[in-house]
Amino acid sequence: MTPDERAEYERWKRDHQPTSTADRKRKRALRDQNAWARASVERHADAKPKTPELLEIEQRLAELRAELEQRRAFDEGVFG
């Protein structure tokens, strides 16, 4: 099974769980709302120019994420 086929199967399996119709409708509506919100945020994320302060924060965030990944790799080697 290719990765695309597997992803499609996982989506199908998620959408066809043995639950009540109301529960499936609620989950579907929530997924649709989340998709709409994600698309809306992505559309408007690039609308504002980035300030120097925001660029500095993003740089620091990238550094901290890299440090976290290094620590996780170290922990996996020792304990994993």
Alpha helix positions (H), the chain: 3-15, 21-45, 52-79
Q: Look at residue 19 in the predicted model and tell me its pLDDT.
A: 80
Q: Are residues 15 and 43 in the same domain?
A: yes
- pTM value > 0.95: no
Position 17 pLDDT exceeds 90: no
Q: What's the sign of the alpha-carbon dihedral 55, 56, 60, 61?
A: negative
Average pLDDT over the chain reads 86
CB-CB contact of 15 with 24 (8 Å)? yes
Q: Are residues 4 and 16 in the same domain?
A: yes
Q: Are residues 7 and 38 in the same domain?
A: yes
Total count of domains within the chain: 2
Domain assignment of residue 20, given as a range: 1-48
